[in-house]
Chain A
Amino acid sequence: MRERDDSLDEPAVRFDRISLSYGPETDVLSDVSMSLAPGSMTFLTGPSGAGKSTLLKLAYLALRPTAGRVSLFGVDTGRLKRPGLANLRRRIGVVFQEFRLLDHLTAYENAALPLRVAGDHERRYRDDVVELLRWVGLGDRMDAKPATLSGGEKQRVAIARAVVVKPDLIIADEPTGSVDDDMGDRLMRLFRELNKRLNTTLLIATHDLAMVRKSNADVLRLADGMVVRQPAMAMPEAGAGSETQ
């Protein structure tokens, strides 16, 4: 059982008038404000190139905004020093779109990476990691290196790595993009379990509108550098449930 953390009453993610540009005329995000309630599940949708990955990078502290304030769990990240930022990152599980597994480590070692980084002893986490990998269908692939894994298997290892520390916030960039529908449903069920049981906040970027509609979760739609909140049911049904440009 986890101890109660007062910071969990604050919005898990809060953007105050965030802008980000890579040059004088290349605004990716412009004056974006939004917040995610603790324990909420939110999908981030929008056309390709709308800045979904950039917004996620701001949320998992890989980028600093050009203007505005990013707060996580009530903490203004702009005021934190490096050790404070590292502590905050340990409360976030990230599923990168391109997986970003370490090629020289096995599936098991990749999944256990955040625990190793946090200084946990392997004897304390071994069983949990094994169970998690079995749950995502990789029980017989634990010693495999990423080079020998399929795209779907890599994605499942990346998801296992993101959830292994039972983070307060999970940020996932197209987490079901490389797996079949069954596995996609299974992974979404894992996310929902974490969301319900541990009150984990979820922010998931996806093109899969059918999945968004099924979830009945909050939706943030990003287009032209602006964010609009809309209910899942309001998402268009046409186009076989996929939003790609």
Chain B
Amino acid sequence: MSSSSPLLPKQDAREAALFFVVSALCFLAALAGLCARSAYAAADKWTDRVTGEITVRVRGDDAAAARAAMIVSSVPGMQEAHALSREQAEDLLKPWLGAGGVPADLPLPHLIAAEAAPGASGVADSVAKALKAADIDATVDDHVVFSADVARATDSAGLVALAAVALLGATAIAVIAFATHSALLARRDIVEVLHLTGARDGFISSLFERRFMMLGVEAGTSGALLAFAAAAFILFVVKQSDQKIWLLPQLSLSLADGLILGLTPLVAGIAAMLAARVTVLRSLSEML
């Protein structure tokens, strides 16, 4: 014989139900985390693409556009500038009007695509001043408004997702605290005997902490695996539809996504352990 039996009885039906609830919460939290990350990643991607790009719309004839292109390219801090041909301008309209959808007699604005040198600042203002000095009627757009809108939208989406993660996490902690309290009540006889045989509060608490930490880790792993499966399914759907589903989150299952999924069981385990510790110590403090 040996004292190998755990001092707390093995898990019962209540803990199986708790495992299911915590798994579901971890699944939703991990998925929300993946969505938050993808929102920020998409924002970075979109804003990176337009950062430094300047578009100049020239009102006037071809000669004015050519002169404007020369002026723009000579502005300090400008890396490259060229006037777009009519074909290039039509290409920009293709996503909306389709190939060949632009009537030949439709007047298109004269556009100059320019790119400022990396790190150069205030180039758009210099371009606007130079064009005004040359008496060319033009509008300069450095996409700041677009970038700000994108950043605002993705920041909001990211914050909502992070709030969902926080809410789900808090719910999981509350559920575990409630379950710990129930477990403590159900095993009050055991706790009292341990208490009266000289067990310190930390010793009794550690029994529940270990139990609920393992439950958190296992439920977190299960939730993370389900979230991985859901993300993989979304990726599969996106790929099958030739990446034209714009409304679906742009999930990638990158290293950062792996980190979120990997951290889910760890965070769930630690949260469960802390919830159990606080609950048990608070309950024990009511005993002499």
Interface residues of A in 39-86 (CB under 8 A from B): 60-64, 82-83, 85-86
A103 to B194, CA, bound (A): 13
What is B's interface to A at a CB cutoff of 8 Å? 1-3, 5, 7, 9-10, 189-190, 192-201, 203, 285, 288
A116 interface contact, C-beta 8 A: yes
With A85-B288, A100-B189 in contact, do A114 and B197 touch (Cβ < 8 Å)? yes
Q: How far is the CB of B183 from chain A (nearest CB, A)?
A: 14
Q: Any chain B CB within 8 A of the CB of A112?
A: yes
Q: Does A87 contact B (CB under 8 A)?
A: yes
Q: Specify which chain A residues have a CB less than 8 angstroms from the CB of B7 in the assembled complex.
A: 102, 105, 116
For A90, give the chain B residue with the smallest CB separation.
B198
In residues 86-111 of chain A, which contact B (Cβ within 8 Å)?
Answer: 86-87, 89-90, 92, 94, 100, 102-106, 108-109
B199 to chain A, nearest CB (A): 4
Give the distance in Å from the alpha carbon of A169 to the alpha carbon of B203 in the complex: 23
Contact for A113 among B10, B193, B288, CB less than 8 A: B193
Minimal beta-carbon separation of B8 from chain A (angstroms): 8
How many residue pairs at the A-B interface have CB separations less than 8 Å? 69
Q: A residues within 8 A CB of B10?
A: 104
Instruction: Assess the B5–A118 pair: CB atoms within 8 A.
Output: no
A100-B193, A113-B193, A117-B194 given as contacts; is B200 within 8 A of A122 (CB)? Answer: no
**Could you say which of B3, B190, B196 contacts A89, with CB atoms under 8 Å apart?**
B196
Chain B CB within 10 Å — which of A64, A83, A86, A109 has the most? A86
- Report yes or no: B197 in contact with A117, Cβ–Cβ below 8 A: yes
Q: Would B196 and A64 count as touching, CB distance under 8 A?
A: no
Bitwise, A100-140 to B at CB < 8 A (1) or not (0) is 10111110110011101110001000100010000000000
**Complex CA distance for A36 and B95, rounded to whole angstroms:** 96
Q: B122 → chain A, closest Cβ, in Å? A: 67
Decide yes or no whether A142 CB sits under 8 A from chain B: yes
**14 A-B Cβ contacts within 8 A?**
A62-B192, A62-B288, A86-B199, A89-B195, A89-B196, A102-B189, A103-B9, A104-B10, A106-B5, A108-B2, A112-B3, A113-B193, A126-B2, A143-B1
Q: A61 to B197, alpha carbons, bound, how many Å? A: 11
Give the residue of A85, A105, A117 whose beta carbon is less than 8 angstroms from that of B5.
A105
Q: Is B198's CB under 8 angstroms from A118's CB?
A: yes
Most A CB within 10 A of own CB, among B194, B195, B288:
B288
Q: In whole angstroms, what is the CA distance A113 to B196 when docked? A: 11
Q: Are B288 and A83 in contact (CB under 8 A)?
A: no
